[in-house]
Amino acid sequence: MRAALADGAPPADPLALINEGGARAIFPTPLDRGRILALIEECVPPPPAAPAAGENASALRAEVEHLKKKLAQTERELRIARNADAMKREEELGLAELKLERLKSSLGVELDIDYLAPDLAVELAKAFDALLACPTISLPVMPQIGLKLQDMIRQGSVSFAEAASVIALETGLSARVLSICNSPLYCGVERISNLQQAVARLGEGALLDIAMTAVSENLFRTQLKGMSDLVERLWRHSLTTAHASKLVGETLGVDHVDDLFLMGLLHDIGKLLIAYLTQQGFDHGIWNTRIMTPRIMLDIMNRRHNELGVALLSKWQYPETFIEVVGHHNDDATIHTRSESCIIVYYANVLTRKLGFSLKADAGDPLSEHDLAQALNLAADMNARIEQSSREMIVRIQETYFV
C-alpha cells in the first residue's frame, strides 16, 4: 500500500480494503465500518441546512418592512414635489389676485373672481360683465360707414346713386366691394368696373350686403395668440349664416330679406365681443394663458354670447328685431314662439352647422331634430332645395373670401 502511494497511485477505497481483509495494513487498530464512514463524511462539507419555518417567516417580514420603508420614502418625495407645484400655483394666483385688486382701483369696477373655483369658466365670465360696463375698456366699434350702410338697409328704399355714393366715401372700400362683385359669388358675364354698374346689375340691396360684409370683415380680427383660427371660423360661420338667412327669406318670399342678411352676419356678435374682452383681460392682467385657455374661452362663448351680444347691439342702438335675433337665435326651448326673422336665422344657423361651418359640430341632422322646416312651413322638397343651394353657395363663398 505504501508502495502504491509512493508511486503516485490514488489511495485505495478504505471500504474495499476492509472487505479484502487489509484493514490492519492501513489502520494499526481495529475500526468498525461505522467509524470509517464517519471519518469519510468529515472530509465532505455538509449540504446547507434548510431554514426552519420560523426563519422563513422572519425573512419575509424583514423584506416587507424594507419595501414599506421604500414606499414611504417615495410618498414623501411625491408630497414634496406636489407641495412645490401647489406653492408655485398659489404664488401665481396670489399675484393674479393682487393685480385684480389693483385693476379694481384703476378701473373703478367690481371684480370678484375665485381662481380656484371648480367651474372656472363661470367665475371668469363675471369679468366680462364688468369689462363691458367699464368706460375705459375698448369695445368693437362699427365704423361710421357701417352705421350709414345699416341705416340705408333698414330704410329699405335706397337709390342707385345713394348706395354708390356712400360706399365711395370709404377709402379702400370701393375696391374691396368691386373685388367681391367680380368674385364667383356674384360675377356675371361681363366684368363690373365701377359702383354704378354694380348697383345696376346686382341691385341696391345686394350691393349694400356686399359693402356691409367688407366693413364687418375687419371686425373679425384678433391679436390673441392661438385664437386667430377660432375667430376666423367664427367669421366663416357668420358670413355663411348671413347668406343662408337671405336665401331662406327669398325662398319664403318674406318682405325683410335685406334685414335677414345683416341679422345673420351679426347673430354671433357676442362671441366676437368675448374675444375682444378676452384680449382686454390679458392686457390688464386679469388672467394669463394658464387661466384663460382656448377651451375655457370657447366655453364662455357658448354660455354668454347671447346676452353679451344683446348688450353690444344695444350700445350700437340696433332695433329690437335685431336684438331678438342675437339674443334667441339658438334658444331651443322658445324658438317656435319667436318672430319670423328669428326663426329664419335660427334655421340658417343650424343649417350652416350641419354643413360644417361652425365652432361646434352637430351629430345627425339638427334640422330634422328641431322641426324647423315645419315651423317655417317648408315642404320636404323645398327644404332639400334650400340645403342643396346652400351647399353650392358655400363653395362660392369659399372661393370669394377664403382663397
Write out the DSSP string of 96-158.
Answer: HHHHHHHHHHHHT------TT-SSHHHHHHHHHHHHHH-TTS------HHHHHHHHHHHH---
- 241 pLDDT above the threshold of 90: yes
pLDDT at 275 over 80: yes
Mean pLDDT of 333-362: 84
Res 305: pLDDT: 93
Give me the pLDDT at residue 6, please.
46
For the segment 143-159, the average pLDDT, to the nearest whole number, is 70
Short-list 172, 174, 170, 216, CA closest to 199: 174
End-to-end CA distance of the chain: 113
Residue 376: pLDDT band by 50, 70, 90 thresholds?
A: confident
Residue 200's pLDDT is 78
CA distances 167 to 149, 153, 253, 345, Å, are 8, 13, 28, 26
On average, the pLDDT of the chain sits at: 75
- Residues 331-353 have a mean pLDDT of 87
- Residue 402 amino acid letter: F
pLDDT of 16 > 80? The answer is no
Query: How would residue 180 be classed by pLDDT, with cut points 50, 70 and 90?
Result: confident
User: Closest by alpha carbon to 265, among 198, 345, 181?
Assistant: 345
CA dist., res. 195 & res. 250, Å (int): 24
> What is the CA angle 27-32-38, rounded to 5?
90
pLDDT of 26 > 60? The answer is no
pTM for the structure as a whole: 0.67
Over residues 377-394, the mean pLDDT reads 82
Task: Average the pLDDT over 287-298 and give the result.
Answer: 83
- Say what the alpha-carbon torsion angle 122, 326, 386, 259 is, to the nearest 10 degrees: -160
| pLDDT band for position 244 (cuts 50, 70, 90) | very high
126 neighbors 110 (Cβ within 8 angstroms): no
Q: What is the pLDDT of residue 3?
A: 44
Q: Is residue 180 within 8 Å of 186, Cβ to Cβ?
A: yes
- Our CA dihedral for 194, 195, 200, 204, rounded to 10 degrees, sits at 160
Ramachandran class of 186: left when φ > 0, alpha when ψ lies in -120 to 50, beta otherwise: alpha
At 127 the pLDDT is 81
**Poorest-pLDDT segment among 29-43, 245-259, 301-315, 381-395:** 29-43
Query: 124-134+229-403 has which CATH code?
Result: 1.10.3210.10
The three three-digit cell numbers of residue 11, written as one number: 489511495
Phi, psi of 118 (to 5 degrees): -60, -40
Residue 310 pLDDT level (bands cut at 50, 70, 90): very high
Residue 353 has pLDDT above 80, yes or no: yes
Q: What pLDDT sits at residue 43?
A: 61
Whether residue 297 has pLDDT greater than 80? yes
**How confident is the model over 100-117, as pLDDT tens digits?**
555 554 555 556 677 777
Q: What is the CA radius of gyration of the chain?
A: 43
pLDDT score of 5 more than 70:
no
Rounded mean pLDDT, 178-185? 84
Q: At what angle do helices 294-315 and 228-252 cross, to 10 degrees?
A: 50
**Confidence grade of residue 1 (pLDDT, cut at 50, 70, 90):** very low
* CA neighbor of 326 nearest in space, from 308, 352, 350: 308
Identify which has the larger pLDDT, 2 or 372. 372
